[in-house]
Amino acid sequence: MSNNDDNRAEVPSSQLEGADQRTGVAVTSFAELLYLSTIRVLAIHTTEASPRAGSAFVVSHKDVRFLVSAAHLVRDAESMTIHLYTAVDGPRFGTAAPYQIRREDDFWHFHSDPDIDIAVGAFDPVADFLSQDSATVTVNAISTDDFVTPWEKRTATFTDPFWHPLPLDEVLLVGYPDDYRDRETSLPLLRRGRLATPIWLNHENRPVFLIDTYAGCGTSGGPVAYVEEKHHVGRTMYGDTGKIVLLGVFSEKLPAGRQVAIQDGRPGHPPNLGAAYKAHLIMEIIESL
């Protein structure tokens, strides 16, 4: 991060539309863009003794921002607190700014399929409210233009054999595994994982893909993204590569609430595996609002 405006050119302008231009915090890498779009969620459920920690992130669609999280984290919660970042200057951040969402606010919207573990809420009213008290609240947003295209909607080209991501390709995850974070600023952890299943596959007939990574509680609701390489075909470099592509929303670690039967030929305890719901499902919720 930098307070030098010239560095903004390092990230495509289409991906900077969610950056807060007032604070002087400039995003100078793809990882920082993803990192500063993700915030902490602390949800209170009356059936649980302790608050449930998780993740959420901001996306933008046609200049409107939305907050995205995991449905199982926020559904039926009595209340929850999200923690936004405050920028001092340049790369320096201050104490996190909390904002409470109550059940009666009807903030969250869900997919028409109740099994889809994604929740979406309008973020701009939250940002507008907090800006009344503090002009330093800052957050980035991932444009819906940078969501991965569903495989069945891709236009076939001669570059398809080079198309990524593929299984074993590296992906980025941002969130709060086991609620680990920088306590003062509430900044999250940026981690790496690898795709364990093809993006085009609906694993076990669900619109999810698997990731080989440590999946502690608190990761749920965070973004899973891929940094496209700059692909060359001959001497031609395709200009829309080399950017952050949102693949999905982290949902669960496996096995999820059930023991996988050994007689089915599958392991009972898959090591370090998590599941993420595909990004196009976020758009389906947004378009239904």
pLDDT tens digits along 205-230? 999 999 998 878 899 999 999 887 65
Same domain, yes or no: 16 and 134: yes
Question: Same structural domain for residues 129 and 168?
Answer: no
Residues 165 and 272 in one domain: yes
Residue 264 has pLDDT above 70, yes or no: no
Whether residue 161 sits in one domain with residue 122? no
Same domain, 191 and 74: no
Q: What does the pLDDT look like over 156-181, one tens digit per residue?
A: 555 555 566 878 888 999 999 989 99
Structure tokens at 246: 């949102």
- Mean pLDDT, residues 67-79: 96
Examine the pLDDT at 262 and tell me if it is beyond 70. Answer: no
Asked, as a colleague might, if the bond just before 255 is cis with ω within 30 of 0, I would say yes
pLDDT of residue 28: 63
The total number of structural domains in the chain stands at 2
Q: Report residue 255's pLDDT band, with 50, 70 and 90 as the boundaries.
A: low
The residue out of 124, 142, 160 marking a domain boundary is 142
Is the same domain home to 122 and 200? Answer: no
Question: In this structure, what CATH number is given to the domain that contains residue 237?
Answer: 2.40.10.10
Token pair in block for residue 14: 């289409």
Q: What is the mean pLDDT of residues 20-43?
A: 73
- Across the chain, what does the average pLDDT equal? 80
Same domain, 171 and 282: yes
Cα distance between residue 36 and residue 217, in whole Å: 20
Last residue of a domain, one of 95, 122, 142: 142
Q: With a cut of 70, say whether residue 136 has pLDDT above it.
A: yes
Give CA–CA dist 137/35, Å, rounded: 15
What is the distance between the alpha carbons of residues 77 and 107, in angstroms, rounded to a whole number? 11
Rg (CA), the chain: 19
Tell me the residue range of the domain where 225 lies. 146-286
Same domain, 137 and 191: no
Q: What is the 3-state secondary structure (H, E, C) of the chain?
A: CECCHHHHHHCCHHHCCCCCCCCCCECCCHHHHHHCCEEEEEEECCCCCCCEEEEEEEEEECCEEEEEECHHHHCCCCEEEEEEEEEEECCEECCCEEEEEEHHHCCCEECCCCCCCCEEEECHHHHHHHHHHCCCEECCCEEHHHECCCHHHCCCCCCHHHCCCCCCCEEEEEECHHHCCCCCCCCCEEEEEEECCCCCCCHHHCCEEEEECCCCCCCCCCEEEEECCCCEECCEECCCCCCEEEEEEEEEECCCCCCCCHHHCCCCCCCCEEEEEECHHHHHHHHHC
